[in-house]
A and B are shown apart, each in its own frame.
Chain A
Amino acid sequence: MKKVSQQVQKAVQTPTPNQQQKISRRQFFFLLIQTQIGVGVLSLPSDLHQVAKQDGWISLAIAGSLLPIILIVLYFIAKQFPNDDFYQINEKLFTRWGGVVFSILYIIYFCMVARLILLLFGRMISLWVLPNTPFWVLALCMVVVGLYMCNGGLLVIARFYTMVSILLIFLIVLMFLSFKEAHWMYLLPIGEVGIGKILQGSTEAFMSFLGFFLSLVVFSKVEGKPREKLKTILQAHLFTFSFYMLTLLISYSFFSTKELSLVTEPLLYMLKSFEMPFVARIDLFFISVWFVSVATSYTTYLYMASFGLQQIFRAKSIKLFTLIVSILIFSLSQFVGLDMERLEKYSTIVVYEGYALTFLMPFLLLVYVLIYKRIQQKKERST
């Protein structure tokens, strides 16, 4: 009985405020993979094929094996500030206003990615399922889902992502349907296009991993030691990488090289031609499930942007900012709509920005952080 009463006291004393609760590493894992696997999956095989032909998978393999370097760089940055999130780190490094400027740079980038996701989603749905539905309706669906999920906070987002990850299994099972018709010969000859093209393809492949920057933003909000977190990050990367590889191999072995250059979404196209005894047209189911995947990546970017604003304004609640960002993204995306040419242009801009901010910047940031830390240590020593 005494033991119980002690427990009682303990329980009463420690309050459990929900907002500050950290996400578990498992949730972190799913957060990462759900952010990375999104709009890109459907067009990735054909995007790589445009550049590297049937050797696209080598490009992906190169990109996938090089990316951990950047992940480790991000880890080293985050490790220096175990209790700060990305935006707080910025302010520490570059003083308040410098940090704000730096953060805004990233917030704008996140908004742009969110907008791009919205546009690509709209285009895909319009192409495949609802050709006559106006873009704003589709965009609205996505924005509403993102808004509602984001308002629940990171914990709700993490829980939701973990739950819907079971759908990935569904997607994988659907993909395996094609195994009967796979011609592995189509992957041969290896290296036909030459090293140059393959490397060019791998720069393209890097883009499919873009969501990894999330690991830096929420690093401090994950429970566990930094090393364990790094392990989770790498595991998540491995999963995403294998998932992409699977989609790539399946679509490359199903379609012949010439044919693939005509097909923009090989996976859907492949599923379209299958029929199961109880349902036909599996692509429609696939795209419905894929909607969830897209919504999760969109929500992450929405969250990262609004979370940044919240940090800048030192606000208590994120709700106002999610609303502002959502309205912004929604209204800005209307200017592009389903116009293919402008969409292409816009996506190139976002891609370049992505290179600059998420591939190059971490290296510079790491150098700066290391110098900054040394100066700090010296300061401490001198005092």
Chain B
Amino acid sequence: MTKRLLIILCALVLLTGCWDERQFKNVKLVLTMGFDEGEDGKIVETVSIPTINRASEGQSQERVQILSTEANTPLEARDFTDQSISESFDPGKLRVLVIGEELAKKNIYSVLDEFYRNPSNNLNAHLAIAKGKASEVLSYQNISDTRISEYISGLLEGAEASSHTTGENIQLICAELFEPGEDFSLPLLAVDEEKQSIKFSGMGLFHGNHYSGIDIPVGQATMYLLLQGYKGKSAHLTKKVSDKFEDERYNYVTVNVIKYKRKVDIKAEGDTVSTDINLKLRVRVVEYPADHLDKKSTIDELDKKLSETLTKDAEEIIGMMQEANSDIWGIGRQVRAYHPKVYEKLDWKETFPNMKITPKVDVEIVQHGIIY
């Protein structure tokens, strides 16, 4: 009796089923999305939709459709976009989300809320800020990679491996987005009209939920990341170490950071907070045309010179961070964690730009490649 009942019930479920079916073959995948500031506080959503035609033999054809829609909210824009494409689009496998400079300067959370709220969204997508408009980045026709998503995500992953950007995705910035006393930075992308490419152009510093407009340039991005305590697969630093050679190229050294040790020392007394940051780098020389690394004195000199230059760089970077009021290192959160009483007295937004941060970089050359 019970068995029969069960069978009938199961049949019922199976026959009426498929409430949540979303056939993968009927979905227009959106792998790249961009948001820009529109008129009257509206938002412009740009999506690139690759369409593949199945070929029974040989290479299948792929076409990319780029659509821009203006609406009040991102989801409304998506609904509008849906009306002009066949089938429906789904950002479930989104790989790259680009936000236009103008929009980022106002507030990026309004764009991201939908991604956080709905379970089918991909929180793993790369996030980047476009210098100029996001739609320009997305509609850029490049030659090498067919898909813009692949191009941009490859670009960002490469930059991550060479310690130019942290591998931020939508989820990872979430903590910093909400938590007071902690900020984040996002990679910047710009279209290079001359060279016909999209270029990684540094890290944009954020304050709270908006872009401050101040960037760490590409040249200093590696140092910036090391100060943050982040190193990709390799971290190259190229610095000028002398003026004595006529050939300008002989004056430079390039080192690869093998190991680093970072120590942040926060001192909070009364209502003043100061921070010392010590960065010890153990590096390998990867390019130094001037040679003579067999002498200990040369190496020591190089160590000293590099330490000085890099400390100067660090100071510059800290200056930029303070100017942007972007507490990337989460000093505020640490003050709150370790000195809660001090933190209560302070208004961190006011404190951070004016506090004293002293960097000290120590470089030690430990390897010099296979020649001296």
Contact = CB atoms under 8 A, between A and B. Distances in A.
Interface of A: 127-134, 137, 140, 144, 147-148, 151, 181, 183, 185-186, 188-189, 192, 254-259, 262, 269, 272-275, 280-281, 283, 319, 323
A189 B340 contact: yes
Contacts of B337: 185-186, 188-189
B176 A130 contact: no
A303 B263 CA distance: 57
B119 A259 contact: no
- 9 shortest A-B CB distances, which residue pairs? A273-B171, A188-B337, A256-B179, A256-B175, A258-B178, A273-B123, A189-B340, A132-B19, A133-B19
B184 to A, nearest CB: 11
Most buried by A among B13, B119, B170, B178: B119
Contacts of B180: 258
A256 B178 contact: yes
A137 B171 CA distance: 32
B123 A192 contact: no
Contact of A130 (B19, B169, B172): B19
A256 to B, nearest CB: 4
Contacts of B336: 188-189
B9 A140 contact: yes
A188 B2 contact: no
Contacts of B277: none
Contacts of A256: 174-176, 178-179, 182, 333
Contact of B340 (A134, A192, A269): A192
Interface string B332-365: 0110111010000000000000000000000000
B172 A273 contact: yes
A186 B178 CA distance: 13
A95 to B, nearest CB: 35
A132 B20 contact: yes
Given A256-B176, A273-B169, A133 B20 contact: yes
29 contacts: A127-B119, A131-B119, A132-B19, A144-B10, A147-B2, A147-B6, A185-B334, A186-B175, A186-B333, A186-B337, A188-B336, A188-B338, A189-B337, A189-B338, A189-B340, A192-B340, A256-B174, A256-B176, A256-B178, A258-B178, A259-B175, A259-B177, A259-B178, A273-B169, A273-B172, A275-B124, A283-B119, A319-B2, A323-B2
Nearest to B338: A188
Contacts of B182: 256
Given A272-B123, A273-B123, A280-B124, A144 B6 contact: yes
B20 A259 contact: no
Contacts of A137: 13, 17, 19
Contacts of B169: 273
Given A188-B337, A273-B123, A273-B172, A259 B19 contact: no
A380 to B, nearest CB: 47
Contact of B179 (A133, A134, A259, A323): A259
Contacts of A255: 174-175
Given A130-B19, A255-B175, A272-B171, 4 more contacts: A131-B20, A262-B116, A273-B123, A283-B119
A181 B179 contact: no
A350 B208 CA distance: 41
B119 A128 contact: yes
A281 B122 CA distance: 8
Contacts of A273: 123-124, 169-172
Interface string B155-198: 00000000000000111101111111010000000000000000
Given A181-B172, A183-B175, A323-B2, A140 B13 contact: yes
Interface in B98-126: 116, 119, 122-124
A130 B171 contact: no
Nearest to A326: B2
B91 interface: no
B217 interface: no
Nearest to B17: A137
A185 B20 contact: no
B123 A144 contact: no
A254 B124 CA distance: 15
A131 B330 CA distance: 38
Nearest to A319: B2
Contacts of A132: 19-20
A248 B2 CA distance: 42
Contacts of A281: 122
Contacts of A259: 174-175, 177-179
Nearest to A128: B119
Contacts of A254: 175
Interface in B227-246: none
A31 to B, nearest CB: 24
Contacts of B330: 185
Contacts of A131: 20, 119
Contacts of B172: 181, 273
Contacts of A283: 119
Most buried by A among B170, B179, B337: B337
Contacts of A181: 172
A257 B6 contact: no
Nearest to B340: A189
A131 B338 CA distance: 43
B26 to A, nearest CB: 16
A208 B338 CA distance: 31
Nearest to B120: A131
B119 A129 contact: yes
B248 to A, nearest CB: 42
Nearest to B13: A137
A251 to B, nearest CB: 12
Nearest to A54: B337
A336 B124 CA distance: 35
A351 to B, nearest CB: 27
